[in-house]
Structure formats: structure tokens, C-alpha cells
Amino acid sequence: MDGVLYHGDRALPHAVVFMRLLQSKPHIFITNNPILLPEDIAKKLQTLGFSQPELSKILTSGIATADWLFSQKPGFRYFAIGADGLHQALQKQGVEDASTADFVVIGEGAGIDYASLTTAINLIIKKNAILVLTNPDTTVDGMCNNRHCILPGGGALVAPIQIATGVEPMVIGKPEPLMFRMALARLKLPAEQCLMIGDRPDTDILGAQSLGIKTALVRTGRFRIEQRLPDGIAPDIDVPDLEALQLALNLCP
């Protein structure tokens, strides 16, 4: 959503109108950001002028991670590093346990330090805990002192644990297929009937295409109009903004 519908606390041009035109069509919001809960995102969208969506229409990498862990082991025990939103998502389905955790979960946000790294490393090496990463983004957009800044993403925060343990994490978020499959299940639609609208070729477009979902790249986020597409990635639709996408999709007001 950040980079497609809004930047920080500002709705992007044409985004509110675009979403209003989609209200009658099945849709779901998916985000690699594990920091906010669906209810927080719904309130944010409403504050920015969007219609407040049902919580079932919002899938975050934090919620997807908790759902996957529960599917692997109901009542799972975990040790997590990340923001409060990730901890709250995990607490709804699992039990926090820094001594005998089944899973070590790494997400975005504050929380990583020498002590937490030590705990995570020992759980993996000595207790055979499984390393799980909410999302692989190395950097993400954020706000620092009311100004845009670049923050470390999950892929950067998990790196010291990977190096120390030699273990590759189970990755939940885009471009891995798991969260896309969860979104399709919620929509109750096959991949070929869906369109993924995103602003990042390496996560949104690449991940959706791997499952046969049509894609639309909107260049209002980190990936700008003047940039060349990475090799091997070719969205079905490539537009500068949501107004152009509205025209491309023949969405009439």
C-alpha cells in the first residue's frame, strides 16, 4: 500500500478515487509490512480519506506469519524480534517462550540488540528452532522526524542471525508465493482472474507472476518512472500512476 495508495501519512493523487471505483469488485490489501495490525491499517486508510475496509481484506506479513506458524504447529512457541504489531499478531495464536521456542521470528521495527541476537542464535543452534522471516525487503520507506527516510527491512535485520547460524530462513512475504496464495484463498478466486497492483518489481510483480497472476506496476513508490525494469521482470501493465491505471483498466467513475 505504501507507494501505491499513500506515502507516509499522505494519500497519493488519484488513490481515493481509484479505490472507490474498485469497491464493487473483490479485492484485498496485502503488505510486507509486519509492523501494523489490520485494524491499525483500516483506521489509517479511513483517516486518509479511503473507505474503511473490512479487516478480512487486509493481509500483512505479520498476520500471514502467525497463520502459517499455527498451520505448522497449533499452540506454537516463539521468540520474535520486531515491532509491537508483530508481537501482537503472534500472541493471538502462539505462546512467547525465549527458552524453548519452536520458531525464531524476525520482522521489521525496533527490537534487535546484542541480547536478542544471542537468544535467537542459541535457540536455533542449540534448540533447533526454525528461523522465520516475515518479509525479505532489505530496506523500506519510512518517516524520520516527519521526513522521508530509508529504514532497514526484514532482510537486513535477519542477516546477522543467518551469518551466525548458517541457516536460511523460511520467508513468508513477497516475492515468496505463500502470502499470495493466502490472498487468493481469501478472495476465493483463481490466480488467472486476479491482478496484482504494486510499486516494486522485485516483490509485488515478481511474486505475483510466479503464480500466474496478472500484474500492474505503478511507478509512484520507490521504483521511479525513469528506472529500467530488472532483467526478466515484465509487468502486464506499466503506468506512472493510478489515474493512468484507471484508464488502462477502463474503470469508469
Interval 65-99: pLDDT, tens: 999 999 999 999 999 999 999 999 999 999 999 99
Distance of CA 219 to the CA centre of its chain: 18
Q: Check the CA dihedral 97-101-102-103 and report its sign.
A: positive
pLDDT value of position 142: 78
Tens-place pLDDT, residues 210-252: 999 999 999 999 888 999 999 999 999 999 999 999 999 998 7
pLDDT value of position 140: 85
b/e 93-104 (16+ beta carbons within 10 angstroms → b): bbeeebeebbbb
pLDDT value of position 119: 98
b/e 205-233 (16+ beta carbons within 10 angstroms → b): bbbbbebebbbbbbbbbbbeeeeeeeeee
Helix, strand or coil, per DSSP, at residue 216: strand
pTM of the full predicted structure? 0.94
